[in-house]
Each structure stands twice: as structure tokens, then as C-alpha cells.
A and B are shown apart, each in its own frame.
Chain A
Amino acid sequence: MTAGMVIIGAGECGGRAALALRDLGYEGPVTLVGDEPHLPYERPPLSKEAMTGEAPAIKAIATDALFAERSIRHIHSVRAVAIDRAAHTVQLSDGSSLSYDKLLLATGSVPRPLPMPGLGGRCVYLRTFNDALAIRAHLSAGNRVAIIGGGFIGLELAAAARKLGAAVTVIEAQPRILMRGVPAEIAEIIHKAHEAEGVAIRTGQGIAAIDDDGAEVGITLAHGQKVIADLVVIGIGAVPVTALAAEAGLAIDNGIAVDQHLRTADPDIFAAGDCCSFPLAVYGGRRVRLEAWRNAQEQGALAAKNMLGADEAHAAVPWFWSDQYGLTLQIAGLSDEGRSIVRRDLDDGAFILFHLAEDGRLVAASGIGPGNAVARDIRLAEMLIARRAKPAPEALGSQAVKLKSLLAA
């Protein structure tokens, strides 16, 4: 009898991998282990408007019935504590253990902790649905919310909190919001949108001290100013969950290090999603780690294929989106690969920045606009990036030239 496939981590990536194994016709045992009490669910809504409704609900990616029908065993509320690579077993926190033929680590990431004294019960992080519910309970009219970190989680949450009438201050240590991966021109639009909605944004402000007395939190900024809040949400990035892999002797390099097939140095252990770093073919094998929903999905599916022996290399272009108020931002590729920028204006104030490498290759595209105004062109840009195309800058910059026509070139 075969031991089957074991997946550690029941988020987007692990859940998709389990379903993909069945889609691919695998008939042996599939076991999905997660430390949360829920079915695998989509995390992107947790920081967005979806949480502002009366009774926010989980958006599960599968039902118990679907898992049953597809013979996927979902073990919830349990952690994996150790891997015995020689014996091909994983030990779980409930004392049981699982045997595997192939193991997928889809352990995800957790919020980067703020290394400061003085944090108490009113200083929280957002990662899980339960975290989101706890934050939601504090987002009411008149309540004061301070958000530490002007990244996507913090800004999306700021928008959601404003919708519920809370007074919001965003504190960012860097000189501007969204320093990582978002061009200044686009960050400025988002900054203004927040200010127009009444969010106070303090950029270039380190934090000198935090004092959470249980009733409210006092944040003293490096410049001496004080921000008082009923709730502090810390969103200063995420760190990959790697301890299980590290203790099993697997290499860690800003995440569990895998090759282009998402395989670790152990041929029977794979890693995918937020927890792994991998060589990105489209940028000459540059090693990256992505914290993105679509990547989690794609890598979960690819890992499933390769666990079944497909040997298929990861070839996707990174893609990311964020919704704040009526604006949607989409980014394809990694903009730090670019050396020059070409701007393309679309209708309704929407625009796209194309990032070109020194040799003229399109390496990334960043767009922002109302609703889904930039979606189609960003998707086309993604295809051009994947093809390593060198489109003429004049064509990219002119709305009269359809991007689709450049694909045929």
C-alpha cells in the first residue's frame, strides 16, 4: 500500500495542491494538515472591504463535501512538529504521525513581529480569519486605529476601517508608503486617496516607544509626536515559516530553498507558496520569494504535478493586486528589474507604467485606476514579459496602439 501524498499547510497553496493532485488523476491517499480550525480559505479578503459587512464570512476554496467526494483527508487545528526524512514520516502536534511518499511544505508566512517592548493585547497582527474578526470588532465609528506599516495589508485595512467610520492613522518608517515594489507615481495616488478619505499618514516616522496600558495604546514617534489608539495593527511584512524544514536539515535561503521544480534537496520533499524561495526563470534564475495569492495557487498546482513526476519548471510571471477604496492596483513582474519607465494613459485617469530593462526588454508593468480599468492591459503586459518581448517604447506609450497587437509581433 502506498503512503501517499502529505501536504503541510492548508492555506491557498496547500488546498490547491490537494485538489490538483486529484485533478491530475492521482488515486493514492492525500492528506492535508493545517493548524487553523477552518477549511482552506482565501486570505486576500481579510484586509479588504469584504470584512466590513455585518457578518464577515470565510471564503473557503473547498467544502467538506468536496474534500470527501475527492477523498482528501483534511486534518485541522494540528501542526506538523517534525519530519523524519529517513523514515518518510511527519510527526504532528496531536501525537500522531503520517507516512508519506512525497511531502509538500506549504507552511506559508506569518506577520513579521515588531521588535519592541510595550506591546499588549491591543496591538495585533493580521494573518488569519480569526485575526480579521478580532480586528473587525474594533473597527467602529469613533474608534481610533493606528496602523504600523504603510504596506498593502496596512493600507487595505486603513480603507476598510475608514468605511466603518474609525479614525485611522498610518505610520510608516520609510519616506513614503509602498516603498517595496510600487513605483512612487502610483504610491502617490494611493497616498492621496487615503488622505482624501480622512486617513492621517505619517511617513518617515520611526517609533520610539509603545505603551499599551490595556485601555488604550500610546505610540511615541521618533520625532516626539504621540498617536493614541484604541487598536494598533502591525503590518510590517511577513516572514516565511521555515522551522520545520530547517530542523529537518533542508536548506533555508529567505524561505525554504527549492529548485525550479519546487523541489528541495530531498527529492521527496517539495515546498511552494509564501514559505519558499525559488529561481525565477523570467529573470535569469534570480532567487525570489513571493507573498502573493496567485503565486500560492500556481505553485500549489505545479508542486502537485511535480510530486507526480512531471518535472515541469516554474515559468510564471509574478502578479499582484490590491484594492483600496474604488482603486485597483495591479503589478505584473518585478519592477526593480527595470531601468526606465514608459507611461501609458488609459481612460478615467487610469494609467500603466511599463518598466524596461537596459536592453529594452519589458520586465514589469504597474497599473492603477478605478475598478478594473488596468486589468486587461496588465494581463497583456504579463504575457509580453513572459515572452521576454522588447516592444517599442512608443507603442507602449500610445493608447492608440493595442497591446494585443504587440503580442503578435
Chain B
Amino acid sequence: MSDWVEACAAGDIDEEDVMRFDHAGRTFAIYRSPDDEYFATDGLCTHEKVHLADGLVMDDIIECPKHNGRFNYKTGDARGAPVCVNLKTYPVKVDAGKVLVQVG
């Protein structure tokens, strides 16, 4: 089991928003949901490898900034054209005001 990695401070992300997190040559997207929970997915859209952190978060959905592919960031499920491949998700926990992601 790989280690938990500190991504950012809990307050760095607004509610219903997303932030990019790069670690060890990989890129992730960290989300804070409207009900104040944190989530993490792969950072790039499965359609054309665009950074999802530039996209819009509405409720449980992240929308790719380029071609509007939609994913549920809590589950990684692709929600219709043009995306058809699900997004990988990662466990997240908040500890002492820090957002930690299990990147393994």
C-alpha cells in the first residue's frame, strides 16, 4: 500500500471547486464538493488529455474545459459523449487541515 501524499491545505480549494495537484510526474485533480467533502481523480480527461482542473465543478460533476466531457468526480463515471472511458479515482482524507491523497 502506498503512502498518503499531502496535496494542499483544506482551505486552498473553494467549495464546489477543483485544484490541480502534480506529484512524481503524475497529475491529479482534487475536488471539494458542495457538501464539503474532498475527492481526487486523475488530472487529465480521458478524451484528449486536457487538465480537468481548468474545468467547471457543478454538484458531483466535473466538466472538461475543452470539449465538455462530464464525469462524476466522486465515482469517476463518464457521463456521456465525448467521454466514454471512466476517470480513475483515489482515496482522500483530511487530516489536521491538510488534504491527503493515496496516489498509489
- Cβ contacts B35-66/A at 8 Å (1 or 0 each): 00000000000000011001110000001011
- B63's nearest neighbour on chain A, judged by CB, is A379
Size category, B interface? 10 to 19
A residues sitting closer than 8 Å to B (CB atoms) are: 16, 19, 42, 61, 293-294, 297, 301, 319, 321, 328, 371-373, 375-376, 379-380, 404
**Given known contacts A294-B67, A294-B68, A321-B66, A375 and B81 CB-to-CB distance under 8 angstroms:** no
B residues sitting closer than 8 Å to A (CB atoms) are: 16, 50-51, 54-56, 63, 65-68, 81-82
A-B contact pairs, 30 of them (CB 8 A): A19-B81, A42-B82, A293-B67, A294-B67, A294-B68, A297-B82, A301-B81, A319-B68, A321-B67, A328-B66, A371-B54, A372-B51, A372-B54, A372-B55, A372-B65, A372-B66, A373-B54, A375-B54, A375-B56, A375-B65, A375-B66, A376-B54, A376-B55, A376-B56, A379-B55, A379-B56, A379-B63, A379-B65, A380-B56, A404-B16
Q: How long is the Cα–Cα vector from A319 to B56 in the complex, in angstroms?
A: 16
Inside 8 A of B56's CB, which chain A residues have their CB? Answer: 375-376, 379-380
Inside 8 A of A19's CB, which chain B residues have their CB? Answer: 81
Q: State how many angstroms separate the Cβ of B69 from the closest Cβ of chain A.
A: 11
Inside 8 A of B55's CB, which chain A residues have their CB? Answer: 372, 375-376, 379
Inside 8 A of B82's CB, which chain A residues have their CB? Answer: 42, 61, 297
Main secondary structure of the interface of A (DSSP, over half): helix
Contact A16 B81 (CB under 8 A): yes
Interface centre among B16, B50, B65, B68 (most CB of A within 10 A): B65
CB contact between A376 and one of B50, B65, B67, B81 (< 8 Å): that residue: B65
Closest 8 pairs between A and B when the two form their complex, measured CB to CB: A375-B65, A372-B54, A372-B65, A379-B56, A376-B56, A297-B81, A375-B54, A16-B81
Q: How long is the Cα–Cα vector from A42 to B67 in the complex, in angstroms?
A: 12
**Given known contacts A16-B81, A301-B81, A379 and B54 CB-to-CB distance under 8 angstroms:** no
Interface centre among B50, B55, B66 (most CB of A within 10 A): B66
Inside 8 A of A293's CB, which chain B residues have their CB? Answer: 67
Q: How long is the Cα–Cα vector from A19 to B81 in the complex, in angstroms?
A: 10
Contact A379 B81 (CB under 8 A): no
Inside 8 A of A294's CB, which chain B residues have their CB? Answer: 67-68
**Given known contacts A16-B81, A301-B81, A379 and B50 CB-to-CB distance under 8 angstroms:** no
Q: How long is the Cα–Cα vector from A61 to B51 in the complex, in angstroms?
A: 21
Inside 8 A of B51's CB, which chain A residues have their CB? Answer: 372
Contact A379 B68 (CB under 8 A): yes
Inside 8 A of B63's CB, which chain A residues have their CB? Answer: 379
Q: State how many angstroms separate the Cβ of B70 from the closest Cβ of chain A.
A: 11
Q: State how many angstroms separate the Cβ of B35 from the closest Cβ of chain A.
A: 16
Q: State how many angstroms separate the Cβ of B93 from the closest Cβ of chain A.
A: 27
Q: State how many angstroms separate the Cβ of B72 from the closest Cβ of chain A.
A: 17
Q: How long is the Cα–Cα vector from A373 to B82 in the complex, in angstroms?
A: 21
Q: State how many angstroms separate the Cβ of B25 from the closest Cβ of chain A.
A: 20
Q: How long is the Cα–Cα vector from A19 to B83 in the complex, in angstroms?
A: 13
Q: State how many angstroms separate the Cβ of A381 from the closest Cβ of chain B.
A: 11
Q: State how many angstroms separate the Cβ of B43 from the closest Cβ of chain A.
A: 13
Inside 8 A of A373's CB, which chain B residues have their CB? Answer: 54
Q: State how many angstroms separate the Cβ of A61 from the closest Cβ of chain B.
A: 7
Q: State how many angstroms separate the Cβ of A353 from the closest Cβ of chain B.
A: 18
Q: How long is the Cα–Cα vector from A301 to B68 in the complex, in angstroms?
A: 15
- A373's nearest neighbour on chain B, judged by CB, is B54
- B50's nearest neighbour on chain A, judged by CB, is A372
Q: How long is the Cα–Cα vector from A376 to B54 in the complex, in angstroms?
A: 7
Q: How long is the Cα–Cα vector from A237 to B57 in the complex, in angstroms?
A: 35
Known: A19-B81, A61-B81, A376-B54. 16 other contacts (CB 8 A): A61-B82, A293-B67, A294-B67, A294-B68, A297-B81, A301-B81, A319-B68, A328-B66, A372-B51, A372-B54, A372-B65, A372-B66, A375-B54, A375-B65, A375-B66, A380-B56
Interface centre among A19, A301, A371, A375 (most CB of B within 10 A): A375
Q: How long is the Cα–Cα vector from A297 to B54 in the complex, in angstroms?
A: 22
Inside 8 A of A319's CB, which chain B residues have their CB? Answer: 68
Q: State how many angstroms separate the Cβ of A387 from the closest Cβ of chain B.
A: 14
- B16's nearest neighbour on chain A, judged by CB, is A404
Q: How long is the Cα–Cα vector from A372 to B65 in the complex, in angstroms?
A: 6
Inside 8 A of A301's CB, which chain B residues have their CB? Answer: 81
Inside 8 A of A16's CB, which chain B residues have their CB? Answer: 81
Q: How long is the Cα–Cα vector from A187 to B1 in the complex, in angstroms?
A: 52
